Amino acid sequence: MIEKGSKVKVHYTGKLNDNEIFDSSKDKEPLEFTVGEGQLIPGFENGVMGLNAGDKKTIELEPEQAYGPVREELVNEVPKENLPEGVEVGSTLQAQTEQGPVMVRVVELNETIGKVDANHPLAGKKLIFDLEVVEVG
């Protein structure tokens, strides 16, 4: 049975509310992690607790159990001339901050301003995972 400290291998499919798949281990090696080491989002680790090898389960995670709510302070406007040539809405860029490099998504562009978002792309979203426990060590 999975408990804190268990080494676990899990196959998963991660979906959004509209059933759009954002990640899956299907046709790949199963995800391998040690429960309780904080390697994964908290809700995923909590969702496998108590399961055994061979168990299947669907878990639904609110944003607070996953990548957190969207934080407006992580959305900033920058002069368009400070953005790379040819950048488009949806582009991912690396920005330099006082804390070091951070990845940002371009979410809006006009003639003079670009709006960039440093939130995780899945922040603010409810996540649904179909899990299958492959191995418990």
Q: What is the pLDDT of residues 19-37, one digit of tens each?
A: 999 999 999 999 999 999 9
In the predicted model, is pLDDT for residue 9 greater than 90? yes
Q: What is the pLDDT of residues 64-96, one digit of tens each?
A: 999 999 999 999 999 999 999 999 999 999 988
Q: What is the pLDDT of residues 35-59, one digit of tens each?
A: 999 999 999 999 999 999 999 999 9
Q: pTM for the full model?
A: 0.83
Handedness of CA 84, 88, 92, 96 (dihedral sign): positive
What domains are there in the chain, each with its CATH number? 7-68+123-136 (3.10.50.40), 73-117 (2.40.10.330)
Which DSSP helix (H) or strand (E) runs through 45?
A: helix 42-48
Q: In degrees to the nearest 10, what's the CA dihedral of 49, 51, 55, 60?
A: -30
pLDDT reported for residue 97: 83
Mean per-residue pLDDT, 104-110? 96
> In whole angstroms, what is the distance from residue 98 CA to residue 48 CA?
37
Tokens (6 digits) for 45: 């680790």
- Cβ atoms 90, 106 nearer than 8 A: yes
pLDDT top residue among 95 and 107: 107
